[in-house]
Structure formats: C-alpha cells, structure tokens
Amino acid sequence: MMQNNRNVVRAVVGVGALMVALVLVQHVAAASISARTTYLTFNRPMELPGVMLEPGTYIFELAEPMGSSGAVHVLKGDRRTPVYMGFTHLVERPSGLRLEGTVSLSEAASGVAPRITTWWPPVGAGREFIYPNP
C-alpha cells in the first residue's frame, strides 16, 4: 500500500513538472515570436520589392527564428495570405529609435506609393529591403 502511494505521488509530481516545463516553453516561444514580428497598418498603398501593399494590416516577420539568413516575409493581417518573401541587408539600429516595430519610407511624389526601405523589428538591428536597380 505504501509503495502505491509513493508511485501516485511520483506520478503527480512528474505530471506537474511536465506542465510547468510546457508553460515555460510556450512563454519563451511567444517571446521570441514577438521579438521578430511586427503588425503594421497602412492607410495608403506602400511598395515592397516587386509588390504593392494596399491599405490594411500586415505582419512583418523574420523568416527564420534566429534571423541568420536575413529573409523577411510579410503576410496579410489575417496571417493566411503571404504577400512578400525576400532577402534583406542587416542595418544598425539608429540610437534613439523606438524599441517597437516600425518602418522607414522613401520619399515619393504625390500619388506615388512610397517604398518601405527598412523594417525595424521590436528589438535588434533593422532589415533593409533590396530593390532592383532601375
């Protein structure tokens, strides 16, 4: 009888430890996703290399969790429709730039969609988009 109680206690402790580990893994995964993901809403058209973004909400993400390849993908806000995937150049974050996701834009003539030149993820360096030469 005493042996059965010990087995039950061990099983309960084991399940509890497993649940704590799963919660910690989910928390770390969510933190790493938010550090490499930005939700941006545009009220006018914007340009990325080879694609025009209509007004709306988009998700900018590093394609790899560690971001080593420099690949960025952009999805529509519903996360169902990919709109862009391409390589970028790593650029140093300017001092004083807010630590939240944002983009830098090129100058554009009236009525012309500005190019998104650089995406600044919530942390770390920026990602400069590579446009073909005209």
Whole-number Å distance between alpha carbons of 59 and 83:
10
Alpha-carbon distances, residue 87 vs 19, 24, 56, 80, 127 (angstroms): 38, 32, 23, 21, 9
Neighbour count for residue 27 (Cβ, 10 Å): 10
Q: Is the pTM of this model over 0.85?
A: no
What pLDDT is stored for residue 35 in this prediction? 67
Residue 120 token pair = 């600044």
pLDDT, tens digit (0-9, with 9 covering 90-100), for 91-124? 998 888 877 778 999 999 999 999 999 999 888 8
